[in-house]
Structure 1
Amino acid sequence: MKPGSLYGALHRLEDEGLIRPLRTERDGALPARTVYEITAEGTRELRALRDEAFTEFELKPDPVDLALAVSADLDREVLRGYVEDRIAVLAARELQFDHQLDRRWPDQSTADDLIVAHAKMRIQTEIAWHKKVLADIDKLEAR
């Protein structure tokens, strides 16, 4: 998230009464920093979002699926390169999660570990699917 987006989001949350400024801190010559706390209304909203996350499931379209669906005009080697590049990016991201698991912080909880494991498993599934695309790439219809 870009700093400008973050500050805009903080101001919207404050305007909606979900957070409030707690204090302002200054570290040396750095700009002053406002520390916020969640309000009672913010806690209610957070709990509602949590409950919604646990009870609803939506499989959102992946832009890569659309790109693949309209790739008939691409040279197969170009498409193969795109998919191989995506696999490399995904594999690098998976390694970042491995390193995160190696560098536990003192108060890291079981929930934190499970969240990292979830992200890692999602990446592994993406890698497996991209490898399937590579295996089936010559079966795609060309125009």
Structure 2
Amino acid sequence: MDVSSSRLFALSALARRGQMHGYQIRRAAQLDRTELWTDVKPGSLYNVLRRMTDEGLVEVVRTEKVGNPPERTVYAITARGRAELVSLRSAALGDVRLPPDLVDLALQYTEDLTSDELVEAIGKRRQAVAGQVALFEDEFRAAKPDLAGLEPLIFEHCLIRLRAELTWHDTVLSTLQEGKS
């Protein structure tokens, strides 16, 4: 089963927090910092909600307007949506494949680059990964007092994966440097 992160998040948010309008679900994604450790894009949640409504996984409970914001559609998860949530979560917890990384494909076809060009490209990429590690470490430190349940483990999982990427980049750079000598 191909698991949609956005579907899994939206159904989980509705199951956890009850009836919500799209902006509340989007805000929950931002507050939970899901964009740091998933591919959930808060702006895509509106389309996901519409599709899930068409499929009977969520239902429109009402439309409300409070103050100046536009009318907001309030959604609730259906029994069918709860079953879908269980199925999506089980699939996600059981999925152990490593998602493909485009760097591997790009490396396969670098014969037209000089050694220096390749070292420079990998070095820049390593710097970007190091920046992500620093960002996650800062976010983790700042968020730690407010994290609950398994959230600290999610941050640690992301950090371990990013640090492994740094180690791999160091290995690639070392191998490329040895090849130049």
Alignment TM class, shorter chain as reference: 0.7 to 0.9
Please point out which of 91, 95, 99 is paired with 1:56: 95
Letter in 1 for 2:141: D
In structure 2, the residue corresponding to 1:103 is in which secondary structure?
A: helix
In structure 2, the residue corresponding to 1:31 is in which secondary structure?
A: coil
Distance 1:18 1:126, change over 3 A: same
Q: Which residue of 2 aligns with 1:83?
A: 122
Please point out which of 24, 45, 50 is paired with 1:11: 50
Contact 2:60–2:76 (CA<8 Å) still a contact in 1? yes
Please point out which of 69, 74, 77 is paired with 1:38: 77
Q: Which runs of 4+ in 1 moved over 6 A?
A: none
Displacement after TM superposition at 1:117 (Å): 0.8
Q: How is 1:56-135 mapped onto 2 (pairs within 5 angstroms)?
A: 56-104=95-143, 108-135=147-174
Please, which runs of 5 or more residues in structure 1 have no aligned partner?
none
TM-score by length of 1: 0.81
Contact 2:144–2:152 (CA<8 Å) still a contact in 1? no
**Identical-pair percentage:** 37
Displacement after TM superposition at 1:28 (Å): 4.4
Work out the CA distance in 1 between the residues paired with 2:142 and 2:64.
Answer: 28
Q: Which residue of 1 aligns with 2:68?
A: 29
Displacement after TM superposition at 1:84 (Å): 1.4
In structure 1, the residue corresponding to 2:110 is in which secondary structure?
A: coil
Work out the CA distance in 1 between the residues paired with 2:66 and 2:122.
Answer: 46
Deviation larger for 35-44 or 103-112: 103-112
Work out the CA distance in 1 between the residues paired with 2:64 and 2:165.
Answer: 42
In structure 2, the residue corresponding to 1:21 is in which secondary structure?
A: strand
Q: Give RMSD over aligned pairs.
A: 2.6
Letter in 2 for 1:12: R
In structure 2, the residue corresponding to 1:99 is in which secondary structure?
A: helix
Work out the CA distance in 2 between the residues paired with 1:113 and 1:35.
Answer: 31
Displacement after TM superposition at 1:19 (Å): 1.7
Structure with bigger helix share is: 2
Q: Which residue of 2 aligns with 1:20?
A: 59
Distance 1:67 1:108, change over 3 A: same
Distance 1:109 1:25, change over 3 A: farther
